[in-house]
Structure 1
Amino acid sequence: MIESCTKKRMLIAVTFLGGLTILVLIIESNWTDTDSSKAFVESVEKNSSCYLNEEFDVILECHPCTAFEIASESIGVCIHTSNKEVLKCRKSGITVTRSCDKVAWLEERSFWRFEGLMFGLAVLSCISVYWRENILRQRIVRKVARQLRASV
C-alpha cells in the first residue's frame, strides 16, 4: 500500500500529520487545567493552609528546590516532590511555601528536547532512505547496462 504512494503524496501526508499534531498540542495546552490550587495540599511549610480557605497570589511559580534545601530539609515541602511554590494569602497576608507537582518550564524544555531529538532522527532516517534508494538505483542501472552489453 505505502509503496504505491508517490513522494508528493507522502510529503503531503506527513505535513498534514505534523500540522495536526501541532494543532492538538496547541489545543491541549489551552484546555489543560493549570489551576495552582490542585497542587499538593498535604505538604505546606509551617502547617499553614490559609490558601485553602482564602484567595491567594502566587509569588513564585513552581520551581525546583536547591540541592541544599533537599539535603538539609530546611524547607519541609522540598522533601516530597523536590519542587516548591511560594504563595501569599490575601486576607491574612501570610506567605506560604507549598509543594507542587511539576515545574512547567522544565517539562516544556524536556518536551522540546524530545521533539528536537525526534526531528533529528527523522532527518537522519530520510537521509539514509535516500542514500539506500540511490545505491539500489545504481545497482539496477549497472545490471541493465551489463545485460545490454551482453546482448549486443
Structure 2
Amino acid sequence: MIEFCTRRRMVLAILVLFSLTVVTLIVEGRWSNNHKIAEVNAENESSCGSEPVKVIESCQQCSTLEINAGQVYCLKTGYREQIQCGKGKHKENVFKRSCKVDPWVEERKFWILELITCIVGIGTYGIVRHRQGILDQQLMEKVNRQIAA
C-alpha cells in the first residue's frame, strides 16, 4: 500500500498530519479546562493556622528521594515549597507544603521537546538524503563501467 504513494503524496500527508497536530495543541491549550493542575488542599494551611506565612524557598520539583519516601507534600503535585509560619526564625516554624506549578513552565518544556525532536528529524533526513546520493553515484559509476566494458 505504501509503495504506491509518491514522494509528493507522502510529503503532503506528513504536512497535513503535522498541521492537525499543531492546531489540536493550540485548541487544547486555549480552551481546555480539564487539565488544570491539582489545587492545593486546605491542609497545607492548617500547619500554620492563622499565622502569617512567609515563603522561604519557591516552588521546586520534588526530588526522586522525596517522592520515593512518600512525603505527603510531594504526592499531590510533585512540587514543593518551604514556608515559615509566624515572624520568628525558629526551626520548628519551617514547613514544606505542596504547591502548584505554573502551566507555562510545563508548556515550555513540551515545546522544547518538540523543537529538539524536529531538529533531530531534519538532521536524520539530511543524513539519509546524503547517503542516498552517494549510493546513487556509486551505482551510476558501476553501470558506466559495465557499459564501457
Q: Is the CA contact (8 Å cut-off) linking 1:83 and 1:103 kept in structure 2? A: no
For structure 2, the residue ranges without an aligned partner over 5 or more in a row are 50-57, 63-71, 82-96
The aligned counterpart of 1:64 is 59
Q: Is the CA contact (8 Å cut-off) linking 1:64 and 1:83 kept in structure 2? A: yes
The aligned counterpart of 1:25 is 25
CA shift, 1:18, in A, is 0.4
Amino acid at match of 1:20: L
The aligned counterpart of 1:73 is none
CA shift, 1:40, in A, is 2.7
The aligned counterpart of 1:10 is 10
Relative distance call for 1:23 and 1:139 in structure 2 (3 A) is same
Relative distance call for 1:3 and 1:126 in structure 2 (3 A) is farther
Secondary structure, aligned partner of 1:110 = helix
Structure-2 separation of matches of 1:111 and 1:22 = 12
Secondary structure, aligned partner of 1:33 = coil
Relative distance call for 1:139 and 1:47 in structure 2 (3 A) is same
Q: Is the CA contact (8 Å cut-off) linking 1:83 and 1:99 kept in structure 2? A: yes
| TM alignment of 1:63-142, pairs within 5 A | 64-65=59-60, 79-80=73-74, 81-83=78-80, 99-142=98-141
List per-residue Cα deviations over 1:43-97 (Å, max 9, x = no partner): 4234589xxxxxxxxxxxxx72499xxxxxxxxxx9434346xxxxxxxxxxxxx
Q: Is the CA contact (8 Å cut-off) linking 2:40 and 2:98 kept in structure 1? A: yes
For structure 1, the residue ranges without an aligned partner over 5 or more in a row are 50-62, 68-77, 85-97
Q: Is the CA contact (8 Å cut-off) linking 2:79 and 2:101 kept in structure 1? A: no
Relative distance call for 1:33 and 1:47 in structure 2 (3 A) is farther
CA shift, 1:133, in A, is 1.3
TM-score (structure 2 length as normaliser):
0.61
Secondary structure, aligned partner of 1:131 = helix
Q: Is the CA contact (8 Å cut-off) linking 2:37 and 2:100 kept in structure 1? A: no
- Report the aligned-residue RMSD: 3.3
TM-score (structure 1 length as normaliser):
0.60
- Residue 40 of structure 1 pairs with residue 40 of structure 2: yes
Q: Is the CA contact (8 Å cut-off) linking 2:37 and 2:101 kept in structure 1? A: no
CA shift, 1:36, in A, is 6.5
